[in-house]
Amino acid sequence: MSIINPFIDELPSRQPEKPRKNRIQNIKFPIDAVLKLKLRTLCKQMSRLKGEVISQTNCNTMLLRYGLKHLDCVNWDIPYRDSKMYMHTQLKKETEYPLIGGPFGLAIRYGLSERRTVYCIMVAALRRIEQGGTLEEII
């Protein structure tokens, strides 16, 4: 069988693509109106402190990383309801995400969903900041 387009034979073969090292995992978590207001206010304060605009997702990610460092203050039994309104966080897939959603992550350990786990950590980190923590610890 002959090839219809002779230029196809002349194309060089492609190298297989290498997987990216900096892949991220997007995790969304439910919020209510009060939590949304607190997180947006925190984001504006952090932007003012840092001197540059920080997106809400980046602010949430920084707060989640802060919460992962202070797991001792997390209440895993707080009331949780899926509100159909979400915010997002972006964790590094290879290093940070397994702490929450990996095979030995917090979600599996406490028998919670990934969203509920992130929600509990975010609420605890926000409460810790409100009770006297400093924004410099997050940034």
pLDDT in tens, 29-42: 999 999 999 999 99
Q: 0.95 exceeded by the pTM?
A: no
Output the pLDDT for position 43: 96
Rounded CA-CA distance 32/86 in Å is: 9
Decide if 40 is inside a domain: yes
Rounded CA-CA distance 102/105 in Å is: 5
Rounded CA-CA distance 9/113 in Å is: 51
* Per-residue pLDDT at 13 exceeds 90: no
Which residue, chain included where needed, has tokens 């932007």?
A: 47
**Model confidence pLDDT, tens digit, residues 58-99:** 999 999 999 999 999 999 999 999 999 999 999 999 999 999
Confidence of residue 54 (pLDDT cuts 50, 70, 90): very high
Q: What is the DSSP letter of 134?
A: -
Phi-psi region of 132 (alpha: psi -120 to 50; beta: other; left: phi over 0): left
Decide if 105 is inside a domain: yes
Decide if 23 is inside a domain: no
Decide if 127 is inside a domain: yes
Output the pLDDT for position 5: 64
Contact 23, 92 (CB under 8 A): yes
Q: What is the residue range of 50's domain?
A: 28-138
What's the total number of domains in the chain? 1
Decide if 42 is inside a domain: yes
Mean pLDDT of the chain: 91
